[in-house]
């Protein structure tokens, strides 16, 4: 028994954190909101992440990947959440890559995985229950769910209908397409289930990262901000709000890390564990976001202050891939309640 | 990351399970916080001790098996899974013993620990006073120096002492420096409750059991250090009681008092109750609350695995133990609330038609004490905010 990341995993995460601290600053995230000037991504960053091996972590080494596991990756996706990385790391690295690896015929898979791992292309992910695809405009292909399973579909045969997100860096589109046997992946229901589980766990990890940053921003602010002659962080009401926020995220993380372990080891309860992870992380991030806004006060109710960038991403991801009630219903069914 | 158990750990689990399943009393014992129930629980403690399951993590010379922290967790899981009795010895073995291991002299360890594991000496905790609860450092019970007799004369009152009316000994904090204030000048003393000048009066708790006591000291004598072990003594240095006591506090807040096994066992009984009773209920939020409570128990278990991994590798949880205490105590309340909601009108029944105690009502009332004892959760939230998050104290 050892429930912790290895030193190597932590060192890699630290390296990604350093890269993102430099290249994905709050102003870079803000810049990704600019319609017309930006495609909702941080220029040049995806290539840097690909060079580090992050994008192709789960791709086999023969396809320019690193042949690593969901546990290795989950800590990196958490870092992406911390930095509010606008690029679709969770969708591409944690879901599209392993799905193509496991369920696309080998020569096609090699081609796709190599291009993805080298950072040349991204994949748009259209899984239920989500209503739209993030980063649809720049995707070279789409991994889409239909009644008969997952399909890998070229971008030039789909129609995009754009939607504006509350998070301006999320370039959404509803994707219209015609499923055909030619685009259907192998694996049937298992492939769909695994993709759902991976998406839920990755989004949960991102939410934990978002929550940690919002909490850190708030702790920093309330220690500086003075009212009534003292830092507002000395008031017990705020202390208790922020203790509750920490409690929520610290008891969500173990469920997220365990779910990644279960994915890695194809545990029979992996779907149950993925649902627990997403339910807990969604609720934790929602609580942390609400407390962060309230404890900041009026300053955070502005678009000049950075908190809203994290808060709006949180709102979007709380619901993405199923929110708390959605996953608790799945858990209830799995437990025969 | 490796979430599997070694063959040796699996064998340990199998051995514990086999013994517990063969020996756990059926039907369940009445509450150990009543005079009759306590006596029956003592018999159970003696049975545990004879089979060397009373204190698995202690060295064998004190009645244990030298089990690892992992094996201790496994034992606790099995203990609660099978529905074994509450541990009426817990305030000794889980709160005092870690302090004796850390601060006791060899003589004190050799005397007290075997008697504790054999449930010969039964310890209660003497911290709270009528005017010192959350504000423990405001305590006023004092120990006055008696040079001629070579010891201390205790006066004052302790209260809300769990099972004080049934225990034989008390460990507690007393002010030995009359000029001191707050957490200075306190000393950690151990006192037999049959000493002259000690009076114990039991009183009823919220749940109706006589589980509380107040303990009065009128010139009761405690000898110095470890010179007369039968008559009590000083644990750690005179005047350093606060630091000695804090070692116990972190045991109580964190892992050792409330291992995940008990919550997982209760959560799995809650799932059974939902399956039996949930179907015909018209409250759609109830199933959600049941799932949430079960998930919380799982989360606490996983959090503990991470905590123990850290401990095994030499990283102390420190003030993060306050996070544990808030989480397990509030999850216990949520879990029992869900259960009594499922029981609806029958939730108020103390016993059923066959006279069998309603375990959910009992458990619910007990759970309500969790956010209060071992430092209220308001105090724990202050500790989390100041010591873990680093918010300004003033």
- The pLDDT of residue B392 is 96
Residues of chain B contacting residue A247, judged by C-beta atoms under 8 Å apart: 323, 326-327, 384
- The pLDDT of residue A220 is 98
- pLDDT band (50, 70, 90) for residue B34: confident
Query: Are B75 and B10 contacting, i.e. CB atoms less than 8 angstroms apart?
Result: no
- pLDDT band (50, 70, 90) for residue B27: confident
Which helix (DSSP H) or strand (DSSP E) does residue B142 occupy?
Answer: strand B142-146
The mean pLDDT of A145-154, rounded to a whole number, is: 96
- Nearest-by-Cβ selection for A337 from B291, B389, B390: B291
Identify the CATH number of the domain in which residue B160 sits: 2.40.110.10
Q: Check whether B254 has a pLDDT greater than 70.
A: no
Walk me through the domains of chain A, giving residue ranges and CATH numbers: 189-334 (1.20.140.10)
- pLDDT band (50, 70, 90) for residue B154: very high
Task: Classify residue B308: in a domain, yes or no.
Answer: yes
Q: For residue range A159-198, what is the model confidence (pLDDT) as tens digits?
A: 999 999 999 999 999 999 999 999 999 988 999 999 999 9
How many whole angstroms separate alpha carbon A206 and alpha carbon A285? 10
Q: Check whether A36 has a pLDDT greater than 90.
A: no
Task: Classify residue B2: in a domain, yes or no.
Answer: no
Q: How many helices (H) and strands (E) does chain B have?
A: 12, 8
Task: Classify residue B63: in a domain, yes or no.
Answer: yes
Any bridge partners for residue A174, and if so which? A161
Task: Classify residue B105: in a domain, yes or no.
Answer: no
Beta strand ranges found along chain A (DSSP E): 123-126, 133-134, 141-146, 149-154, 159-164, 171-176, 226-227, 230-231
Give me the residue label for tokens 């305030």. B91
Q: Are residues B379 and B282 in the same domain?
A: yes
Q: Which of B185, B216, B240 is the last residue of a domain?
A: B240
Q: Check whether B255 has a pLDDT greater than 80.
A: no
Closest CA to A103 of A113, A93, A117, A116: A113
**Whole-number mean pLDDT of chain B?**
93
Number of domains in chain B: 3
How many whole angstroms separate alpha carbon A266 and alpha carbon A102? 13
- The pLDDT of residue A321 is 98
ipTM: 0.96
- pLDDT band (50, 70, 90) for residue B257: low
Q: Are residues B143 and B37 in the same domain?
A: no
Note if B252 is an active site residue. yes
Q: Which of B218, B240, B262 is the last residue of a domain?
A: B240
The mean pLDDT of A194-207, rounded to a whole number, is: 98
Q: Are residues B378 and B273 in the same domain?
A: yes
DSSP string, B174-229: EE--TT--TTSSEEEEEEETTSTTEEEEEE--TTSS--EEEEEEEEEEEESTTTSG
- The pLDDT of residue B213 is 94
Number of other residues whose CB lies within 10 A of the CB of residue B346: 13
Residue B68's SS3 state is: coil
* More confidently predicted of B269 and B30: B269
What pTM, to 2 d.p., does this model score?
0.96
Task: Classify residue B100: in a domain, yes or no.
Answer: no
Task: Classify residue B159: in a domain, yes or no.
Answer: yes
Distance of residue B49 Cα from the nearest chain A Cα, in angstroms: 28
Residues of chain B contacting residue A332, judged by C-beta atoms under 8 Å apart: 287-288, 290-291
- The pLDDT of residue B367 is 96
Task: Classify residue B98: in a domain, yes or no.
Answer: no
Q: Are residues B216 and B327 in the same domain?
A: no
Structure-block tokens of residue B332: 């216990």
CB contact under 8 A, A328 and B294: no
Identify the CATH number of the domain in which residue B326 sits: 1.20.140.10
**What is the percent of chain B with per-residue pLDDT over 70, rounded to a whole number?**
97
Query: Are A172 and A132 contacting, i.e. CB atoms less than 8 angstroms apart?
Result: yes
Structure-block tokens of residue A292: 């962060």
How many whole angstroms separate alpha carbon B267 and alpha carbon B233? 42
Query: Are B293 and A328 contacting, i.e. CB atoms less than 8 angstroms apart?
Result: no
Q: For residue range B161-176, what is the model confidence (pLDDT) as tens digits?
A: 999 999 999 999 999 9
Q: Check whether B63 has a pLDDT greater than 70.
A: yes
CB contact under 8 A, A331 and B291: yes
Cβ burial, residue B276 (10 Å; 0-12/13-18/19+): exposed
CB contact under 8 A, B391 and A2: no
Q: Check whether B252 has a pLDDT greater than 70.
A: no
Q: Are residues B357 and B298 in the same domain?
A: yes
The mean pLDDT of A25-31, rounded to a whole number, is: 97
Residue of B nearest to A9 (CA): B1
Query: Are B55 and B114 contacting, i.e. CB atoms less than 8 angstroms apart?
Result: no
Residues of chain A contacting residue B305, judged by C-beta atoms under 8 Å apart: 1, 3, 254
Q: Are residues B235 and B265 in the same domain?
A: no
Range of the structural domain that residue B61 is part of: 7-88
Q: Tell me the C-alpha to C-alpha distance, in Å, between residue A235 and each of B130, B198, B382.
A: 27, 42, 10
Q: For residue range B189-214, what is the model confidence (pLDDT) as tens digits?
A: 999 999 999 999 999 999 888 889 99
Of A95-109, B75-89, B236-250, the range with the lowest mean pLDDT is B236-250
Residues of chain B contacting residue A230, judged by C-beta atoms under 8 Å apart: 392, 394
CB contact under 8 A, B381 and A243: yes
Give me the residue label for tokens 């000898």. B223
Q: Are residues B150 and B210 in the same domain?
A: yes
- The pLDDT of residue B212 is 92
- pLDDT band (50, 70, 90) for residue B253: low
- The pLDDT of residue B250 is 64
Catalytic pick among B61, B252, B337, B346: B252
Task: Classify residue B160: in a domain, yes or no.
Answer: yes
**What is the percent of chain A with per-residue pLDDT over 70, rounded to a whole number?**
100
Q: Are residues B193 and B288 in the same domain?
A: no
Q: Are residues B288 and B223 in the same domain?
A: no
């Amino acid at each position: 028994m050892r429930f912790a990341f290895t030193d190597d995993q932590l060192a890699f995460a630290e390296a990604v954190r350093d890269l993102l601290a430099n290249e994905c600053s709050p102003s870079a995230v803000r810049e990704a909101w600019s319609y017309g000037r930006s495609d909702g991504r941080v220029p040049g960053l995806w290539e840097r992440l690909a060079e580090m091996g992050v994008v192709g972590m789960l791709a086999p080494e023969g396809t320019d990947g690193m042949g690593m596991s969901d546990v290795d990756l989950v800590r990196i996706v958490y870092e992406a959440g911390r930095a509010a990385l606008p690029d679709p790391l969770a969708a591409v690295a944690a879901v599209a890559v392993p799905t193509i690896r496991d369920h696309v015929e080998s020569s096609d898979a090699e081609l796709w995985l190599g291009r993805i791992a080298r950072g040349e292309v991204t994949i748009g992910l259209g899984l239920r229950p989500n209503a739209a695809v993030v980063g649809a405009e720049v995707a070279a292909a789409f991994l889409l769910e239909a009644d008969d399973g997952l399909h890998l579909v070229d971008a030039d045969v789909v129609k995009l209908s754009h939607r504006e997100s509350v998070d301006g860096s999320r370039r959404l589109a509803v994707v219209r397409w015609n499923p055909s046997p030619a685009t259907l992946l192998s694996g049937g229901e298992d492939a769909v289930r695994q993709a759902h589980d991976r998406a839920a766990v990755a989004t949960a990890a991102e939410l934990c990262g978002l929550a940690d940053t919002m909490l850190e921003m708030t702790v920093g602010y309330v220690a500086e901000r003075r009212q009534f002659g003292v830092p507002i962080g000395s008031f017990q009401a705020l202390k208790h709000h922020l203790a509750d926020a920490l409690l929520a995220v610290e008891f969500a993380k173990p469920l997220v890390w365990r779910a990644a372990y279960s994915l890695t080891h194809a545990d029979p309860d992996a779907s149950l564990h993925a649902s627990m992870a997403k339910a807990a992380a969604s609720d934790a991030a929602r609580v942390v976001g609400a407390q962060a806004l309230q404890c900041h006060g009026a300053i955070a109710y502005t678009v000049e202050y950075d908190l809203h960038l994290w808060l709006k991403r949180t709102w979007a991801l709380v619901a993405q891939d199923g929110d708390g009630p959605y996953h608790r219903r799945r858990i209830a069914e799995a437990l025969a309640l | 990351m490796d979430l599997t158990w070694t063959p040796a750990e699996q064998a340990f689990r199998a051995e514990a399970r086999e013994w517990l399943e063969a020996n756990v009393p059926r039907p369940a014992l009445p509450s150990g916080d009543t005079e009759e129930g306590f006596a029956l629980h003592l018999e159970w403690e003696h049975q545990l001790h004879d089979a060397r399951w009373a204190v698995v993590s202690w060295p064998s010379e004190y009645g244990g098996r030298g089990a690892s922290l992992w094996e201790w967790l496994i034992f606790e899981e099995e203990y609660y899974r099978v529905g074994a009795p509450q541990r009426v010895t817990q305030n000794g073995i889980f709160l005092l013993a870690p302090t004796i291991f850390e601060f006791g002299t060899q003589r004190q360890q050799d005397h007290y620990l075997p008697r504790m594991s054999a449930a010969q000496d039964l310890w209660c905790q003497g911290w709270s006073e009528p005017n010192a609860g959350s504000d423990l450092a405001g305590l006023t019970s004092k120990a006055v120096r008696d040079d001629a007799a070579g010891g201390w004369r205790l006066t004052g009152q302790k209260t809300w002492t769990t099972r004080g009316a049934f225990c034989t000994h008390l460990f507690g904090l007393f002010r030995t420096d009359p000029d001191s204030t707050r957490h200075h000048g306190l000393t950690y003393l151990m006192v037999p409750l049959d000493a002259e000048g000690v009076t114990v009066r039991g009183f009823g708790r919220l749940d109706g059991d006589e589980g509380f006591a107040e303990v009065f000291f009128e010139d009761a004598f405690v000898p110095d250090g470890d010179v007369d072990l039968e008559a009590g003594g000083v644990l750690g240095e005179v005047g350093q009681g606060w630091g000695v006591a804090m070692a116990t506090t972190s045991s109580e807040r964190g892992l050792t008092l409330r291992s995940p096994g008990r919550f997982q066992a209760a959560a799995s009984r809650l799932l059974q109750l939902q399956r039996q009773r949930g179907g015909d209920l018209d409250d759609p939020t109830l199933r959600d609350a049941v799932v949430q409570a079960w998930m919380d128990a799982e989360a606490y278990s996983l959090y503990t695995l991470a905590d123990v991994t850290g401990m095994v590798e030499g990283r102390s949880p420190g003030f993060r133990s306050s996070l544990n205490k808030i989480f397990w105590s509030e999850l216990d309340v949520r879990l029992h609330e869900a259960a009594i909601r499922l029981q609806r009108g029958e939730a108020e029944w103390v016993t059923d038609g066959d006279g069998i105690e309603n375990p959910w009502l009992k458990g619910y009332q007990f759970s309500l004490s969790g956010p209060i004892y071992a430092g209220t959760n308001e105090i724990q939230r202050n500790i989390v905010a100041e010591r873990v998050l680093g918010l300004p104290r003033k």
